[in-house]
Amino acid sequence: MLVTVVVGSGIMAQQLSTDMGLQLLENSLATFFGLTVLILLFQQISGSHLNPVVTLVERLVGGMDRTGDAAAYIAAQVIGGLLGAVLANAMFAQPTRWSTTDRATPAHLLAEVVATAGLLLVILMLVRTGRAALVAPAVGAYIGAAYWFTSSTSFANPAVTIGRMITDTFAGIAPGSVLPYVCAQLVGATIAVALVSALAPRGRQR
């Protein structure tokens, strides 16, 4: 559903507006609201694991007990991302095909490092300081904002990145850009873990 929101709202924005800035505004607002609702919806069921880097970090820092569980979540996230793009394409009568939008420039990869580090910082700091109830609106707001302050428009999610490679629309990313993006996202996640360890050590939880 997350990829359906991102891709579907991107297609709708493309159909409704010719101005790129307005298209991005429409896409980012839909993602902000959609992501917030999805996190609230699944928070008490699965912990709202919609993002492989979040799942990997949770496994690393002890929020998930078994590696097998993390692997199952990541598989579900990637499959869900691909199916979400297919669904969005179908709703707008768009063909499901490889995107032709190359995005892997040095500036875009730096933006993905920043976007992912910021996302993980928001989640981990809120959880570690006893404010997990704020994760849904905070993550939605952060991603909505990061659409605008990062040149990559803040994918910050390997499953979303993989899903968006099969839609040749406003939200698409060429297959050749996917691996560099995922690597940048993993770097960003590593930076976030280091920052949280420094800013909020476990002995200082409140």
Q: What is the pLDDT of residues 17-63, one digit of tens each?
A: 999 999 999 999 999 999 999 999 999 898 889 999 999 999 888 77
Res 26: pLDDT:
97
Please, where are the H alpha helices in the chain?
2-16, 20-42, 52-61, 67-91, 106-128, 135-149, 158-163, 175-199
Res 46: pLDDT:
87
Diameter of the chain measured on Cα atoms: 53
Locus of tokens 């609230």: 40
6 is written with which tokens?
């991102």
Asked if the model's pLDDT at residue 162 lies above 50, the reply is yes
pLDDT tens, position by position, 91-111: 999 999 999 999 999 999 999
Locus of tokens 């929020």: 63
Asked if the model's pLDDT at residue 205 lies above 60, the reply is no
Average pLDDT over residues 135-150: 97
Locus of tokens 């692997």: 71
d(CA 139, CA 27): 16
Res 62: pLDDT:
72
200 is written with which tokens?
């909020």
d(CA 43, CA 80): 17
Res 4: pLDDT:
98
Residues of the chain above pLDDT 70, percent: 97
107 is written with which tokens?
């500036």
Fold of 2-204: Glycerol uptake facilitator protein (1.20.1080)
* Least-confidence region, from 43-47, 121-125, 194-198: 43-47
